[in-house]
Amino acid sequence: MKILGIALQKGQLRYSLLDGTKIKPNLILKEKLNTIALDNVPELMDWFETNFLDIIEKHKPDKVCYKITLGPKKEQLFSLIMPLGVLNLICKKKRITVVDYNKLQFTQKKLGLDKSVDLYKKCDEIFGTNPPYWDITQKDSIIVGWLEL
Amino acid sequence: MNLPTTTFQLGKYKVLRKLGNGQFGYVYEALDMALAARKAIKIIELEKPDELLSTLLEANILDKCRHKNIVQINEANVMELNGKQVVVLDLEYADGGSLSSEMEKRFLSVKESICHISSMLSGLEYAHNQGFLHRDIKPANILVSGGVTKLSDFGLATVPTGKIGSGKGYVSHLAPETLTKNVTTIQTDIYASGITLFRLVNQVSDWHSIVVSQKDPQKLITNGTLLNKIGFQPYIPQQIKRILSKACTPILTKRFHSALEMRQALDKLRYNIVWNKNSPDEWSGADNHNSYTMEKSRSARGVISVEFSKNGRMQSDKCKKNICELEAVACMNNIVMNTTFG
Ligand SMILES: Nc1ncnc2c1ncn2[C@@H]1O[C@H](COP(=O)(O)OP(=O)(O)O)[C@@H](O)[C@H]1O
Ligand SMILES: [Mg+2]
């Protein structure tokens, strides 16, 4: 199963494409896109629609997973939360299952790992380090996909 | 083909007015009487019956390239007109016309130009991902429909073969590698997108005559100096020049590799003031909260000054008094250049 994992950051859309299994996950690719300016919300949502669609049409994932930020601040609502509404609608229209995860659901147990394991370090171990932009947000996009494998 | 100059009937279409004629077809605004809907129809004459399949290629490609930034095809039909077989493409009617007619009508701000090209590149990337090259990116082939920018005219489009294919028609924005090695690739579409952006931000409507008026255009194209030779409007910000040089360099390893990469460079730009040139002596601008005007004025005694105001209030620190004509123009150009981006 091919899974698209998505994590947003202010002004950035990060995604990763995974296949394999929970025990043997495989990172096919990862990508960072810069969004347009955040000051015009309708334009920004249009940008997200275009780019979510383009990514889905290009990679044809079987499932889409995304990370949702808990307790967002007001300005984060526009850059981190509202675009996920657009994503859900696109997935519904394209009949692709879409699953959300928040940080509290990033548990080692779900991945068959010991509680002491640092998931972000584990990402380096399993997938190697993949600069540039091999950071928390990028790994978030991987972990949400990994959780669904 | 001699087509009537007044309205005429073609099957279910009431053909209203000519929108443009290009190299291979005639495009009309038409009323689809079955649906009571406005359409654009492209009528392509068949020279020989065995051209039918190749003439339908444009329609086939459009059907495989359904994207919000690509003009939508509704259907394609073979019909008879004046006793001749024609292919009729039934297209969504783009009410905003083409960017070439738009730029002839009015000044396009840097932001508008970039937004058009960014959207067009979304469509182009989709076509590339579907396995097609467009091969004729230019302002006349970018349309605006309901406020959305759409790539159009896949009449020269093909699958990438490395070679230029049939070589049908004149390719407007010939890339260096097409000129020297006769190849067309994804990167030649990028090159043409760069030239298109250059034309939009520099108000160059008639590309062909400006190119042929150069001393040795072939050499300028192949050594990558064409744009600098033609020159940039003095208010064009550095950020745009950098993007244009990356889109139009003859060195393929340095050129953007994909439409997405070029679009990302454009999307990353952050605007400050959007400036519109109302006349050679007057600019108006706006950001999210304020409006600006800037104009050159001449007092009764002949003293020239530049007056800059924000929300209707004169900003004396940005105004200039007692300067010459050229200084005034340069002053305004500099302000536009330095305040377009944040
Ligand atoms: N769908 C459309 N809606 C509105 N105008 C159009 C449409 N398609 C083409 N046109 C107009 O007709 C012109 C020529 O059409 P195009 O498809 O580019 O034909 P050609 O292959 O002959 O260049 C365009 O530049 C544009 O002005
Ligand atoms: Mg054309």
In this structure, which ligand is nearest to the CA of B144? 1
Q: What was the pLDDT predicted at B160?
A: 67
For the four alpha carbons of A46, A52, A58 and A63, in that order, the dihedral sign comes to negative
| Contact A42/B at CB under 8 A | no
Given a contact cutoff of 8 angstroms between Cβ atoms, the answer to whether A36 and A42 are in contact is no
- In this structure, chain A runs to a length of 149
- In this structure, chain B runs to a length of 342
Look at B264 and A34 and tell me if their CB atoms are within 8 Å: yes
Give Cβ neighbours of residue B226 (< 8 Å, ≥ 6 apart).
Answer: B211, B214, B217, B220, B248
Residue nearest to atom 18 of ligand 1 (CA): B153
Given a contact cutoff of 8 angstroms between Cβ atoms, the answer to whether B114 and B269 are in contact is yes
**Residues of chain B where predicted confidence (pLDDT) is lower than 50:** 164-169
Give Cβ neighbours of residue A50 (< 8 Å, ≥ 6 apart).
Answer: B68, B69, B119, B122
- CA nearest to B8, candidates B30, B34, B39: B30
Secondary structure (DSSP) of B203-247: T---HHHHHHTSSSHHHHHHTT-HHHHH---TT--HHHHHHHHHH
Choose among B118, B125, B270: nearest Cβ to A37. B270
| Gap from CA of B98 to ligand 2 centroid (Å) | 10
Give the binding-site residues of ligand 1, using a 6 Å CB cut-off.
B 19-20, 22-25, 27, 40, 42, 71, 91-94, 97-98, 140-141, 143, 152-153, 155
Q: Which residue has the tokens 């950071």?
A: A135
Buried b (16+ CB within 10 A) or exposed e, A133-147: eeeebbbbbbbbbbb
Q: What was the pLDDT predicted at B22?
A: 67
Q: How many Cβ atoms sit within 10 Å of the Cβ of residue B209?
A: 9
- ipTM of the shown complex: 0.88
Q: What was the pLDDT predicted at B167?
A: 44
Q: What is the pLDDT along chain A (149 residues), one digit of tens a residue?
A: 999 999 999 999 999 999 999 999 999 999 999 999 999 999 999 999 999 999 999 999 999 999 999 999 998 999 999 999 999 999 999 999 999 999 999 999 999 999 999 999 999 999 999 999 999 999 999 999 999 99
Nearest CA in chain A to B261: A33
3-state secondary structure (DSSP) of residue B126: helix
Q: What was the pLDDT predicted at B165?
A: 44
Q: What was the pLDDT predicted at B47?
A: 82
How far is Cα A111 from Cα A109, in angstroms, rounded to an integer? 5
How far is Cα B8 from Cα A134, in angstroms, rounded to an integer? 62
- CA nearest to B179, candidates B258, B262, B252, B250: B250
What CA–CA distances, in Å, run from A35 to A40, A130, A139, B267?
12, 22, 19, 6
Residues of B in contact with A54 (CB under 8 A): 122, 125-126, 260
